[in-house]
Amino acid sequence: MILLQENFLNQSDNNLPPRIREPKLLQIFWGLLQQKDYLETMAKRYGDIFIGEFAGFPSSVVISHPQGIQEIFTADAKLFATAPGNSIMEPLVGTNSLLLLDGDRHIQRRKLLMPPFHGERMRAYGNLMCDITDRVMSKLKVEQTFIARESMQEISMTVILKAVFGLQEGERYEKIKIALIDMLKSFNTPLKTMFLFLKVLQHDLGSLSPWGYFIRQREALDKLIYQEIQERRNQPDSSREDILNLLLSARDDANQPMSDVELRDELMSMLFAGHETIATALSWALYWIHSLPEVRKKLLQELKSIDVERTESTEIAKLPYLNAVCSETLRMYPVVFFTQVRILQTSMQVMGYEIPKGMMLTPCIYLAHHRPDIYPEPKKFKPERFLERQFSPYEYLPFGGGNRRCLGMAFALFEMKLVLATILSHYSFTLAESSPVLPARRGLTFAPSSGVRLMVRGCQ
């Protein structure tokens, strides 16, 4: 393999990394439909840094070496822009989303949105997270087989609707939930995801066509969101602590409030980024815990050493083995395989190569997490590795890094730990899968292909 890599390195011209030589069309379909397999094959053929092509996008430099990732995460943010690479998200989150902002607007919006996802404000959501988990899980009966992903999605969506929108259960809350689930159905299989990535497929050919269906579901959801915004503008309540309230009272440098469209785009971003991801991570965690008896045993021992019901949520979040299980879950199959793309505004040196202006830099989380030099036996689920060693932010990056690091990282880890502790201290399950579960594309995330079937053995 080393010989093969050297061979390609020698062929690289103008001090550029090796360029994938497989036909473009093959790269697109292989990359979209079987991304794990595609990435592993390309890394074997071309090494730690290589250039791929993707329809309609600039050439993309895929990097899995910590040195290259460090160079990108620590570089001046002004070197990069997000568009057009991140525009695949635009149909979902709109053009005013933090995900698509650059420069000063990005810095200002991050400053505004960060506080509720950290410190005291975030901790206040601990009880909410545990109560919602109890409520959703209590619907299950002994001997019942259920799809973990569906229950986890119900939990994470309820948490985000209450924390971000401050919605109370009621008619609009139910309608938003249903509209969101319907909209996300547009991308819940690898094939349907093509519509997000390939702009040529984005034509509204009526409600029965895939894109037409998506557009109509999005309109239905938008209508509900705008109704909520209007109502909250008409009846301001400064005592409310949800994120919508914070955004409604925010003013920019010119003392202007956010427009309805800006509010809608930010709410959609958090709805979208903040619940699919956590639901997927929790489903994987439940899969590993129930596939590996030793992991389950150790975790239960740790949870039994405290009284989960009476322990402060912040103390639960500090449990070392629980933390290691969550970390290994996000290492093994990261929820997103790549960070957001960074489009070079000027040329930049990465790992000794001179990457020209206009190319996209794409740190590959999946490949970085599967390097045998950093993670021995990378295909094995071993939480212990996180007890034995600390990994640098360039070796372990499930939430990306640098100026675009995930806004919801602390919130997501907190929720993952509290939901798992609550579930495992009240319920026991067996895995009801007959073969290993693998990741499959689900919109922009990689989720367990079957959703993870579990059977309820008992509840306390």
Of the candidate spans 21-29, 36-44, 217-225, 402-410, the one that interacts with ligand HEM by CB under 6 A turns out to be 402-410
* Residue 215 or 423 with smaller CB distance to ligand HEM: 423
Q: Is 411 in the site for ligand HEM (CB under 6 A)?
A: yes
* Residue 336 or 359 with smaller CB distance to ligand HEM: 336
Q: Is 61 in the site for ligand HEM (CB under 6 A)?
A: no
Q: ∠ CA(318), CA(319), CA(322), 5° rounding?
A: 120
Two tokens at 151? 């229950």
Q: Return the residue of 19, 45, 110, 175 that touches ligand HEM, per CB under 6 A.
A: 110
List Cβ neighbours of 211 (8 Å cut-off, separation of 6 or more).
195, 201, 202, 203, 204, 205
Residues pairing with 446 in the sheet: 441
Strands of 427-431's sheet in order across = 145-147, 453-459, 427-431
* Residue 146 or 337 with smaller CB distance to ligand HEM: 337
* Strand 49-52 relative to strand 60-63, pairing: antiparallel
List Cβ neighbours of 258 (8 Å cut-off, separation of 6 or more).
247, 248, 250, 252, 266
Check if the beta carbon of residue 341 is closer than 8 Å to that of residue 362: yes
Check if the beta carbon of residue 416 is closer than 8 Å to that of residue 327: no
Q: Compute CA distances 251 → 234, 254, 387, 447, whole Å.
A: 17, 8, 44, 38
Residue for token digits 């309609």?
A: 56
Of the candidate spans 55-63, 124-132, 234-242, 333-341, the one that interacts with ligand HEM by CB under 6 A turns out to be 333-341
Q: Return the residue of 126, 400, 443, 448 that touches ligand HEM, per CB under 6 A.
A: 400
- CB 269, min distance to ligand HEM, A: 5
Q: Is 335 in the site for ligand HEM (CB under 6 A)?
A: yes
* Residue 270 or 456 with smaller CB distance to ligand HEM: 270
- CB 22, min distance to ligand HEM, A: 26
| Mask for 3-42, x = binds ligand HEM (CB under 6 A) | ----------------------------------------
- CB 206, min distance to ligand HEM, A: 33
Beta carbons within 10 angstroms of residue 379's beta carbon: 8
- CB 129, min distance to ligand HEM, A: 11
* Residue 383 or 400 with smaller CB distance to ligand HEM: 400
Three-state DSSP at 189 gives coil
Residues pairing with 50 in the sheet: 62
Q: Is 63 in the site for ligand HEM (CB under 6 A)?
A: no
Check if the beta carbon of residue 362 is closer than 8 Å to that of residue 62: yes
Within residues 66-105, the interface with ligand HEM by CB under 6 A covers 98-99
Within residues 247-286, the interface with ligand HEM by CB under 6 A covers 269-270, 273-274, 277-278, 281
Q: Where along the sequence are the contacts to ligand HEM (CB under 6 A)?
A: 98-99, 110, 269-270, 273-274, 277-278, 281, 335-336, 339-340, 398-402, 404-408, 411-412
